[in-house]
Amino acid sequence: MDRAEVDTKIRSLIEPFNKKGVELSDDTGFANDLEFDSLTVMDFVAEIEDEFDIIISMNQQAEIENFGQLVDAVTKLQDS
């Protein structure tokens, strides 16, 4: 899957978590813009891991602050 396909898939996965209907861009932050708390982050990460059959380590999660970084990380993890 290329980056554009990963982006589209993650957008569909984030929909139920995006309670405020925030417009997503690569710069959309999970904490500030989407107001994700730690439980929401864990649930969302679990969805992504299941969908893409990958594991996102806690260290990687700590580095991912916005939507674009998540798309890049998932794209890279799939290629591993």
Q: 64-73 as b/e, with b when 16 or more CB fall inside 10 Å?
A: bebbbbbbbb
| pLDDT score for 1 | 92
Q: What is the pLDDT of residue 79?
A: 81
pLDDT value for 9: 98
Q: Which of 28, 32, 56 is nearest to 44 (CA)?
A: 56
Domain residues of the chain, as ranges? 3-79
Q: Which CATH architecture has domain 3-79?
A: Orthogonal Bundle (1.10)
Residue by residue, pLDDT tens for the chain (80 residues) are 999 999 999 999 999 999 999 999 999 999 999 999 999 999 999 999 999 999 999 999 999 999 999 999 999 999 87
The C-alpha torsion from 21 through 43 and 54 to 2, rounded to 10°, is 0
The residues, ordered by sequence, that sit 6+ positions from 12 with a Cβ below 8 Å of its Cβ are none
Q: Which pTM was predicted? A: 0.94
